[in-house]
């Protein structure tokens, strides 16, 4: 049975978060944690936090089943665009430039490997 975790309104642009999400898509949980711990991207901290939450949600939804990080894999990772804060910056000759502060929603779905490869 799968479990998911959602992190909403993260103040990072979706494009930057998708770069990190692509690194761990389809990987086993223990390998994904190692990749995220060694990544230099700032968004990797948020992805790691959400991944740990998804593993915890899996353990809570399946109390009779004991699954290690090697038996779990990331079934789906996707990043949706959140709300955009619009700000203005003064420009020459009375004009104004628009600044868009983007945010995103991160969703991670994990599941147990059906036929574990040894």
Task: Look up the CATH superfamily of 3-112.
Answer: Ribosomal protein L22/L17 (3.90.470.10)
Q: Is the pLDDT of residue 118 over 70?
A: no
Q: Which residues contact 51 (CB under 8 A, 6 or more apart)?
A: 5, 24, 29, 32, 33, 36, 74, 108, 110
pLDDT tens per residue, range 28-82: 999 999 999 999 999 999 999 999 999 999 999 998 888 888 999 999 999 999 9
Which sequence spans correspond to the domains of the chain? 3-112
- Please state the rounded mean pLDDT for residues 8-23: 96
pLDDT tens per residue, range 75-116: 999 999 999 999 999 999 999 999 999 999 999 999 998 775
């Amino acid at each position: 049975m799968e479990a998911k975790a959602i992190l909403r309104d993260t103040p990072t642009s979706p494009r930057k978060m998708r770069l990190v999400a692509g690194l761990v898509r389809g990987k086993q949980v223990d390998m994904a944690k190692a990749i995220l711990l060694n990544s230099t991207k700032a968004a990797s901290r948020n992805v790691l936090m959400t991944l740990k939450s998804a593993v915890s949600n899996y353990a809570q939804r399946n109390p009779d089943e004991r699954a290690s990080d090697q038996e779990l894999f990331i079934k789906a990772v996707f990043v949706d665009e959140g709300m955009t804060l619009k700000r203005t910056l003064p420009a020459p000759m009375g004009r104004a430039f628009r600044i868009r502060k983007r945010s995103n929603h991160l969703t991670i779905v994990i599941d147990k490997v059906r036929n574990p490869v040894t």
